[in-house]
Amino acid sequence: MDAMVSPARGIWDGRNLTLAQLGYNDVGLDDGWQACHAGVNGGYHAANGSPIVNTAIFPNLTAMVDYAHGKNLTAGFYSNNCYCADSNYAVQNFIGDVQFIVAAGFDGLKVDSCGAEKDVQLWSSLLQEYSPAKPVVLENCHNGPWAPQPPRKPDSPPWCPFNLYRSSLDIMLNYGAIMGNNLQTVPQYADQNLSFPGCW
């Protein structure tokens, strides 16, 4: 976070600008926050559905979010994780995750497809229910159904209960993979008008 707001990162247009000033103002917590195998059936959810955080690594996620906000950054969370994926499908786990995200003040949620919590419509509905005053940006990473659906009736909107969605597999650190494998997955959605403001 400090690096994102540091003017010592480089010069743009003759000025020392921060990454945040260039538009990189969202920071996301990725995998590894959870206490692996500490919950029900060896997962990372308690019996009441609350996610169990590895406090040895992340002692206070609310303070971390507050720190981001203090630097005028937004903070995102990551769930349905791949590292020690939770195989226990239970609605209370969805609810517990959403309640935790809202209570900690996170601004966004990326839901992956590695664990059992695969129902992006439920994620969306719960975020709206538990955070009606502060919208939480929802990113769908193949969480099923993982892509927008065309309108079923004339003049009706496409189905897209998320703000962002993944069109490709994980990006690889080489030009061919980026241009060939990743970016070439986008036109099929753009051609169907399934990439638009609010559903990128």
Per residue in 117-164, pLDDT (tens digit) is 999 999 999 999 999 999 999 999 999 888 999 998 888 899 999 999
Record the tokens describing residue 19, joined without a space: 């990454």
Report pLDDT for 173: 86
Q: Mean of the pLDDT values across residues 91-99?
A: 98
Q: Is the CA virtual torsion 41, 47, 48, 52 positive or negative?
A: negative
- Write down all domains in the chain, each with its CATH number in brackets: 25-166 (3.20.20.70), 171-200 (no CATH)
Report the share of the chain in percent with pLDDT over 90. 78
Query: Chain centroid to CA 91: how far?
Result: 19
Segment 30-65, tens digit of pLDDT:
999 999 999 999 999 999 999 999 999 999 999 999
Coil, helix or strand at residue 89? coil
